[in-house]
Chain A
């Protein structure tokens, strides 16, 4: 059972375009993480958000945690081919494991 739904499932864009990936759930989480995964590798943590409404920036990536701590978004500005990968959100509760979202496969075309 996956508690978090991501949209879109697949995204193919041209280099330089902007994009937003959404992560939605009916559950309230104590924290939410975003990971990026490349083929043949395990997921690598990008960011953790813990406060409702929190916004974090990592270079061209902007992450937001919803006010109610049920959803999150990842916005990429001026996408580059190196951003290609599977983006995963994961929600958790203090002291327990994280549940991953359904994933968004991003392809940035040069």
Chain B
């Protein structure tokens, strides 16, 4: 596609449920990043993929969060046993090869845990 696509755009889930957030990067981009953002704040780094492997997952807040990118393209961020504090906008970005080339962001998935 022309840009980074994230689905769903909005997700409301009950506390304790499992959710999956999907990111379709720009075709051919090998680097993919997940961030989460609270209202009016800067995005907080979660995980960075180079190809299929997680180059840096130091930003994942705890073991309830996990992300995969099995074929080096689409990525899924998985959150188990969701908590109200997980509510945020989850942003995905991709770049051609590594991070010091321009990163293109999707519109984000707004997750609300009730």
Contact = CB atoms under 8 A, between A and B. Distances in A.
A48 B98 CA distance: 14
Contact of A96 (B42, B43, B48, B105): B48
A77 B93 CA distance: 30
A40 B99 contact: no
Contact of B108 (A42, A88, A98, A100): A42
B20 interface: no
B29 to A, nearest CB: 14
Interface size grouping (class) on chain A:
20 to 34
B98 to A, nearest CB: 6
A100 B100 contact: no
B51 to A, nearest CB: 13
Interface string B13-51: 000000000000000000001010000111111001000
A30 B35 CA distance: 21
29 contacts: A2-B44, A4-B42, A6-B42, A30-B100, A31-B100, A41-B108, A42-B105, A42-B107, A42-B108, A45-B104, A48-B102, A50-B100, A88-B42, A88-B43, A92-B99, A92-B100, A95-B99, A96-B48, A96-B56, A96-B99, A97-B33, A97-B48, A98-B33, A98-B45, A98-B99, A100-B43, A101-B42, A102-B42, A103-B42
